Structure 1
Amino acid sequence: MKTLIVELEKLLTGGTAHVGLKEATADIPFDLLGERPHGLPYSIWQLVEHIRIAQWDMLEFSIDASHKSPKWPDQYWPEETAPEDKNMWDKTLKQVDDDLKAFIELIQTKDLYAPIPQGDGQSLLRESLQIADHAAYHIAEIVVIRRLLGIWSTPKSSS
């Protein structure tokens, strides 16, 4: 079980088969966070805020029987294309990181296979895989937008 948890942690934080959110969002000029190049329907800001909302929802669902999820899809995506200010951007990145740490702590202390009582068959293992899959999908979109904006250089391998 310990091996599975270690592998889930790696999957959740990224950096094994692809960059993680920290690398994908590092050093982005603030004035480009709201750009939607080539007619794309979303900006980097909207993608990161969407990751934050969805991850928060999955964390809360996993720990709080009274949690009510936002309305899909309207409340999972911000309307504004850019954050109000740098503080808002930094706060969003911090919440994504804090919620991910809280989820990783949760999977270290709970049964990964037990059904979540307020769910309809979901388990912490399923939520772990869903958080990782969802984030990886949108992180790839962030990298594509950065490439289109000319602000991406592949991070050097840490291995």
Structure 2
Amino acid sequence: MHADQRKKLINELTDLIKGGNAHVTLEDALEGVPANLRAVIPDKLPYSIWQLLEHIRIAQKDIIDFSISRDYQTLIWPDEYWPQPTDQVSDEQWEKSVKEIRDDQQRFFQLLQNDEKDLFSPLPWGSGQNIVREAMLIADHNSYHTAEIIVARRLLGIWK
């Protein structure tokens, strides 16, 4: 792959993970969620906005940890990927989760930009996965659950 093609691919994958284009970004989906509704589970949905946010954080970190290191430790599905319901979420907890999502994305973007990494070669510790596939998995997973946050907000009457 030529350097200019690689750069274009990295830019496309980065934009895909950040969201937008055809989808609402995670930041937009979270903007203005009242603290008293973060932990409310809307009728007929299994999760609160907080649980969805935390699931995005946990799963994304898991994917990135796997992509970066052979020392990756597999989480137990579903217990370690989904937080338990809670009655309230502090501003500190909320902001920490959002910050960790952003920080982990930056770790992944650094991996993408590492010219020594072949984006298409299978990760030696995986079962055929490569960095491009993991980038698309992050984007796909995050956008899926971002849409669920919007549905939850609509059911709670707090979406535009």
> Normalization by structure 2: what TM-score?
0.91
Change (3 A) 1:46 1:82: farther
- Give CA-to-partner distance per residue, 1:104-159, whole Å, 9 cap, x none: 11111122101111101100001000000000000000011111111111xxxxxx
Contact preservation (8 Å) 1:24, 1:139: yes
Give the match for residue 152 of structure 1. Answer: 159
Give the match for residue 62 of structure 1. Answer: 67
1:13, 1:29 → 2: CA distance? 23
Which deviates more, 43-52 or 82-91? 82-91
Question: Residue type of the partner of 1:139?
Answer: T
5+ residue gaps, structure 1: 154-159
Write out the 4+ residue segments of structure 1 that deviate beyond 3 Å after TM superposition: 81-84
Give the match for residue 156 of structure 1. Answer: none
Identity over aligned pairs, percent? 50
Alignment of 1:7-86 (within 5 A): 7-81=12-86, 84-86=89-91
Give the match for residue 128 of structure 1. Answer: 135
Aligned length: 153
Alignment of 1:109-120 (within 5 A): 109=114, 110-120=117-127
5+ residue gaps, structure 2: 1-5
Q: Could you say what the CA RMSD is over the residues aligned between the two structures, in angstroms?
A: 1.1
